[in-house]
Structure 1
Amino acid sequence: MHVNQEIHSQHEPWNAGRIVGAKPPLKPKHIWALRTRLQIANRVRDLAMFNLAIDSKLRGCDLVTLKVGDVFSGSGIRARSVVVQHKTGQPVPFEITEPTKDALAAWLAIRRAKGSDWLWPSRSHSGGHVTTRQYGRLVDQWVSLIGLNPADYGTHSLRRTKVSILYKRTGNLRACQLLLGHTKLESTVRYLGIEVDDALSLSEQTEI
């Protein structure tokens, strides 16, 4: 029994050195720093993917399966789009801001793809798209570029970023729920990690 305990203790825990649970969102300074690094490195696809991940607030499985037609129409890059979520089967809307439009336009100028083609095609499997695992590895690379520990961040960090900023500025949980595509408000509360202190802080800022 003692020997087994010693052997077991020699194995490093799977989560050693990693944050378990919700990954924190990126801060605005992180977003600008990362955009700059990707632009300097001329990583056209990565810049477009990063910007759209922030704008769309989509889960990784929904982001990687976007088609060109989801963001592009005959007149150019769309200002808004709607996709059906894989997890819930429900539609979720998102906006496409000017920096993201520019990045997508640059990417599509290289791709020369049809509306039915994958927006993020696989570089290793013909006819396929970037996988969620590959997307996760890209996020690790991106945060490392600006000196962040990839163990502390993940794909959900990008999904949380814009709604976290929105909630702190407005306190509008319903808007956050709609943008995240949650069916229950309680899911949004848990996802954003809202605590009593957060609610009180918002209340204290409201003068009557």
Structure 2
Amino acid sequence: MTADAPRTEIHDYLEVLRTQRQLSPHTVENYRLDLLELKKFAGEFSLASLSYHQIRRFTSQLHAQEVNPRSIARKLSCWRGYYRWLAEQITLPANPVDGIKPPKKNKSLPKALGTDDAVRLVSQHRSDTASQCANRAMFELLYSSGLRVSELVALDISQSIEKAHISLGWVDLEQAEVHVTGKGNKQRIVPVGRHAIDALLAWIAVRPTLLKADPHPLFLSERGSRISQRLVQLRIKAHAQSLGIPADVTPHVMRHSFASHVLQSSGDLRAVQEMLGHSSIAATQIYTSLDFQHLSKVYDQTHPRAKK
């Protein structure tokens, strides 16, 4: 194999991508750059001679350089395809990229509102209509108890329900707690704050004006049916935008805000796990990163030795 053979083979492979597979010019250019990067790593070795261990070492170097795991996964896919094509042109003992997995994608931290924005979002409401009262009660309950939106819309007006109806959840106003059925049919009881109780009482007082066929749903749409998850999402997003809150607020953001704010105040990870309904503490531990970020920010802003 001549010294410039890899360059020729790369060129031929890219032509196959352009003409036979008809990939876009942008995609072909990305393939070209990824293959040239591999060629640079190979140095004096030909691409055809690279081994599994050499490419795995190069992948580890990319990871150590903090290259995005998605980018590494794309490069491996490109190289794997190249060697698959190359094996049709010349004899290769094996595809040296087979079996090499990209590093795990970085887990993005859940978004959470600041305390001021969260309180402003749930406390500033018009209550001129029944739907506005429902909004206030729903948003207060999401932030007060950290419910999933699926759990919120499944709530029924009370526990006193006919035998033919199976309730997935209800609010006990006297005990100030909400009973929900979460993932895996796992039931849990979560406290409900005073402001959420007040908002629920105001909503229940006007709820009959929207009630039509089904008497069970706690939260109703303007048509009188059980409110949908999508409608809750649209309403909370519109409300946040009307208040000028820059974040893309969703019911899931309110759940994250509940968890991170409770953890910041209490430091009790097990309690947060129970209230969120996580089956494993590992799912809740991501909030410790959020809490650490908050503490680091406070430290940077207040500690004399941290100030620039």
Q: TM bucket by the smaller chain?
A: 0.7 to 0.9
Question: Among 210, 216, 221, which residue is 1:122 paired with?
Answer: 221
Tell me, in whole angstroms, the C-alpha distance in 2 between the residues paired with 1:174 and 1:116.
36
% identical aligned pairs: 23
Change (3 A) 1:52 1:77: farther
User: Match for residue 114 of structure 2?
Assistant: 27
User: Match for residue 12 of structure 1?
Assistant: none
Question: Among 20, 43, 61, which residue is 2:150 paired with?
Answer: 61
* Count of residue pairs the alignment pairs up: 183
Q: For 1:90-142, what per-residue CA distance to the aligned partner results, in whole angstroms no more than 9, with x for missing partners?
A: 112211221111111111011147x9610112334x5x411111111122112
Q: Does 1:47 align with 2:136?
A: yes
User: Match for residue 15 of structure 1?
Assistant: none
Contact between 1:37 and 1:145, CA under 8 Å: does it hold in 2?
no
Change (3 A) 1:168 1:109: same
Contact between 2:144 and 2:258, CA under 8 Å: does it hold in 1?
yes
Q: For 1:76-99, what per-residue CA distance to the aligned partner results, in whole angstroms no more than 9, with x for missing partners?
A: 5541132221x2211122112211
Contact between 1:48 and 1:103, CA under 8 Å: does it hold in 2?
yes
Deviation at 1:156, TM superposition (A): 1.1
Q: For 1:32-65, what per-residue CA distance to the aligned partner results, in whole angstroms no more than 9, with x for missing partners?
A: 3223431476621111110011112111111111
- Runs of at least 5 residues in structure 1 that lack an aligned partner in the other structure: 9-19
- Runs of at least 5 residues in structure 2 that lack an aligned partner in the other structure: 1-17, 28-106, 159-169, 300-308
Larger radius of gyration: 2
Contact between 2:233 and 2:251, CA under 8 Å: does it hold in 1?
yes
> Partner letter of residue 134 of structure 2?
R
User: Match for residue 135 of structure 1?
Assistant: 232
Question: Among 222, 236, 259, which residue is 1:163 paired with?
Answer: 259
User: Match for residue 5 of structure 1?
Assistant: 24
> RCO greater where, 1 or 2, for CA within 8 Å and sep 6 or more?
1
**3-state SS of the aligned residue for 1:71?**
strand
User: Match for residue 148 of structure 1?
Assistant: 245
> Partner letter of residue 201 of structure 2?
A
TM-score using structure 2 length: 0.51
Contact between 1:23 and 1:153, CA under 8 Å: does it hold in 2?
no
TM-score using structure 1 length: 0.73
Contact between 1:77 and 1:101, CA under 8 Å: does it hold in 2?
no
